[in-house]
Amino acid sequence: MLHTSTLRESAALAREASADLAILSSELKNAILLDLASLLERDCAAILEANSADMADAENSDMESAMLDRLLLTAERIKGMADDVRHIASLPDPIGEDFDARLLPNGLDIRRRRVPLGVIGVIYESRPNVTIDVSALCLKSGNAVVLRGGKEAIRSNEALAERVSQALEANGGPSDAVQFVRDPDRALIGEMIRARGEIDLVVPRGGSKLIEYVRENAQVPVVAGGVGVCHTYVHSDADLEKALDIVNNAKTRRPSVCNALDTVLIHEEIAARFLPALASRWAQIPVEMRCEQRALSILHEAESSGFIVPAEPDDFGTEFLSMRAAVKVVDDLDGAIDHIKEFGSGHSEAIVTEGYSVARDFLARIDAAAVFVNASTGFTDGAQFGLGAELGISTQKFHARGPLGLRELTSYKWVVLGDGQIRD
């Protein structure tokens, strides 16, 4: 199951398996997933050993700290992966669901029925948990999948994919439904995105260069996203303690992920109170604050300590993936919205406010996959949204937006039930 000589062969095997997977019962799919969760926990030590070898190579190659954090597996993270797989097993199976049913005047019973997309190709970097998240979501939604991870996580991905294979085979599922491509040759990315008729959808998960390459060169449908330039705006009427907690969590909980805060915007009326308090908290971590002139002047006047530097022009609009944040004082709500419109990536945006009309205005005018009021952007995550896990986070609008869960991995067909009707 895991290795074939070419990507095209992997796609062909996945295509053949997808027909059987599409009609697999919910009970059998759930049994496979529950077995997979148990295997992850049982074989935790072996998986961590494989990951340690990947980490050693990555550290010797001077990989950036953000990428190292994405690559790292721990017993806690593996337990979290197993829990997510069990959660996916507990969710309703979308396949076969009928919706929008109606009876036409001519007696035809017409409805839409959810069906799998078919074969999904996923290109990803660094994060081995994607191997399990994607496999579990695709199996539950009846889709076969071709996985092409990065060379930096090759041992980790292979160890995880092997457990998927074991769960499929132990339960009599289509063993070729999950194809793991071990060859790290980047040319295979081009081959995958041109595999029309064999792969139905490609989802790239990685840096902006990978995503842009896939968007520009793909000959199959693509759902892309994941690059998150995320803002939190603190309005003049915000509860400042609440705002500090939200901003700090969005930045520091896990800075290497795409939903982490990159820029904090502060209304000018509360900037002199909020900014020194934020600087004091971030000095302890530390977080480097890259401040535009007004923010810089306020912090200097307050004699704030910490890692406070003038912002460079490129800092606004940058996804830092590290303990850095751009900081800007704005005149009002309109100034914050204008800034987000100019520099946001359509991923996750937040406002902290006690005003209902202000919150409503922000929600209406901000165009992003997820928009938060009085909550951390760190919640933009399939598991946190109750989806079990995510195939990725789409920042586009067609056909899915935000975290890609089970329903986002389906299409539908029209089902028409008649009793001899013919058309005039």
Least confident of 40-44, 309-313, 336-340, 400-404: 400-404
256 in Cβ contact with 322 (< 8 Å): yes
The answer to whether residue 240 is domain-embedded is yes
Helix, strand, coil percentages in the chain from 3-state DSSP, rounded to 5: 45, 20, 35
The CATH number linked to 98 is 3.40.605.10
For residues 195 and 49, state if they share a domain: yes
**Comparing C-alpha atoms, which of 9, 52, 380 is closest to residue 180?**
9
b/e string for 69-108 if b means 16 or more Cβ within 10 A? bbbbbeeebbeebbbbbbbbbebebbbeeeeeeeeeeeee
pLDDT in tens, 103-141: 999 999 999 999 999 999 999 988 999 999 999 999 999
For the beta sheet containing 324-330, the strands, ordered from the edge strand earlier in sequence to the opposite edge, are: 308-310, 288-291, 324-330, 261-267, 230-234, 348-352, 370-373
The answer to whether residue 76 is domain-embedded is yes
For residues 39 and 172, state if they share a domain: yes
For residues 212 and 266, state if they share a domain: no
For residues 192 and 159, state if they share a domain: yes
**Comparing C-alpha atoms, which of 94, 124, 342, 70 is closest to residue 231?**
342
Q: How many CB atoms lie within 10 A of CB 311?
A: 19
Share of the chain above pLDDT 90, in %: 84
For residues 162 and 255, state if they share a domain: no
CA distance 107 to 356: 48
For residues 218 and 237, state if they share a domain: no
CA distance 36 to 126: 21
Q: pLDDT category, 2, cuts 50, 70, 90?
A: very low
b/e string for 4-28 if b means 16 or more Cβ within 10 A? beebbebbbbbbebbeebbebeeee
The answer to whether residue 93 is domain-embedded is yes
The pTM score is 0.89
pLDDT of amino acid 3: 44
pLDDT in tens, 297-313: 999 999 998 899 999 99
CA distance 165 to 177: 9
The answer to whether residue 190 is domain-embedded is yes
The number of residues making up the chain comes to 424
Mean predicted confidence (pLDDT) in 218-228: 85
For residues 16 and 111, state if they share a domain: yes
For residues 91 and 194, state if they share a domain: yes
SS3 label, residue 291:
strand
pLDDT in tens, 328-356: 999 999 999 999 999 999 999 999 999 99
Which domain does 252 fall in, by range? 230-379
For residues 176 and 74, state if they share a domain: yes
SS3 label, residue 119:
strand
Task: Please give the residue that has the higher pLDDT: either 209 or 41.
Answer: 41
For residues 78 and 189, state if they share a domain: yes
Q: Is 275 exposed, middle or buried (0-12, 13-18, 19+ CB in 10 A)?
A: buried
User: Within its chain, how far is the Cα of 149 from the centroid?
Assistant: 15
SS3 label, residue 318:
coil
Transcribe 78-92 into DSSP letters: HHHHHHHHHHHHHSP
pLDDT in tens, 146-190: 999 999 999 999 999 999 999 999 999 999 999 999 888 888 899
Least confident of 196-210, 246-260, 282-296, 300-314: 196-210
The CATH number linked to 247 is 3.40.309.10
**Comparing C-alpha atoms, which of 52, 220, 58, 50 is closest to residue 123?**
220
For residues 243 and 219, state if they share a domain: no
The answer to whether residue 388 is domain-embedded is no
Cβ contacts of 386 within 8 Å, gap of 6 or more: none
For residues 374 and 413, state if they share a domain: no
The answer to whether residue 390 is domain-embedded is no
SS3 label, residue 183:
coil
Q: How many domains does the chain have?
A: 2
298 in Cβ contact with 335 (< 8 Å): no
CA distance 15 to 119: 6
Transcribe 46-70 into DSSP letters: HHHHHHHHHHHHHHHTT--HHHHHH
Q: In terms of DSSP bridges, do strands 178-180 and 144-148 run parallel, antiparallel, or are they unpaired? A: parallel
Asked whether residue 420 carries a pLDDT value surpassing 80, the answer given is yes
The answer to whether residue 59 is domain-embedded is yes
289 in Cβ contact with 307 (< 8 Å): yes
Asked whether residue 66 carries a pLDDT value surpassing 80, the answer given is no
281-288 CB contacts, 8 Å cutoff, 24+ apart? 281/244, 281/248, 282/248, 282/251, 282/252, 282/306, 282/307, 282/325, 283/307, 285/252, 285/323, 286/323, 287/251, 287/252, 287/323, 287/324, 287/325, 288/323, 288/324, 288/325
The answer to whether residue 392 is domain-embedded is no
